[in-house]
């Protein structure tokens, strides 16, 4: 998200399954005029769900209950975003973070878009996590409408 979008969503995206924004890092050089250069978010001790899955997953004694809970938490976070008309557009294990209590939270809303203001928006995101319709060449970009289904495929 750009600076204006990030600041707009700072207080509106408060959900236990979304990594909270704690603040912003801004360039203090008036000559630079580059504005926002970073978003400060809650520290998530276990890194991404991708990292957790590849390094610590097998160490957990109850994998099925853990998996079920993590899927529920991810789904709850996405449901919350979609209820606010926000599409993540880059949902993948690398953008889901795991805290010290093994709770998962959705992160990296840099490509997120608001459904109410982005009609006909392009299909952004990581190619390997995009839905098949994002690659259709027989449709003009204006008909490749991003919907909540876009995130579900991720």
Identify the CATH number of the domain in which residue 66 sits: 1.10.510.10
User: Which pTM was predicted?
Assistant: 0.74
Q: Does a structural domain hold residue 1?
A: no
d(Cα 109, Cα 74) in Å, to the nearest integer?
14
**Which token pair is 68?**
């079920």
Average pLDDT over residues 135-150: 61
Contact 130, 123 (CB under 8 A): yes
d(Cα 24, Cα 37) in Å, to the nearest integer?
8
Q: Does a structural domain hold residue 21?
A: no
The count of domains in the chain is 1
Considering 90, 108, 127, 138, which one is annotated as catalytic? 90
> How far is CA 15 from each of CA 18, 70, 108, rounded to the nearest angstrom?
5, 15, 14
Does residue 151 have an active-site annotation? no
Q: Does a structural domain hold residue 29?
A: no
For residue range 8-55, list pLDDT tens digits in order: 566 678 899 999 888 888 777 766 666 666 788 899 999 999 999 999
E-strand stretches of the chain: 21-26, 36-41, 86-87, 96-98, 104-106, 113-114
Q: Does a structural domain hold residue 32?
A: no
Q: Does a structural domain hold residue 59?
A: yes
Q: Does a structural domain hold residue 111?
A: yes
For residue range 101-117, list pLDDT tens digits in order: 999 999 988 767 777 66
Q: Does a structural domain hold residue 50?
A: yes
For 52, the domain range is 44-153
């Amino acid at each position: 998200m750009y600076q204006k979008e990030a600041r707009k969503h700072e207080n509106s995206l408060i959900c236990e399954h979304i990594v909270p924004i704690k603040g912003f890092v801004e360039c203090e050089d008036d000559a630079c005029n580059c504005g926002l250069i970073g978003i400060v978010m809650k520290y998530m001790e276990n890194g991404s769900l991708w990292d957790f899955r590849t390094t610590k997953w097998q160490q957990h004694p109850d994998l099925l209950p853990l998996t079920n809970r993590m899927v529920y938490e991810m789904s709850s976070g996405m449901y919350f975003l979609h209820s606010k008309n926000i599409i993540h557009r880059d949902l993948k294990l690398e953008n889901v973070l795991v805290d010290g209590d093994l709770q998962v939270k959705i992160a990296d809303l840099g490509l997120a878009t608001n459904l109410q203001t982005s009609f006909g928006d392009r299909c952004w995101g990581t190619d390997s996590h995009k839905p098949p319709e994002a690659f259709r060449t027989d449709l003009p970009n204006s008909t490749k409408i991003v919907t909540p289904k876009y995130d579900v495929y991720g």
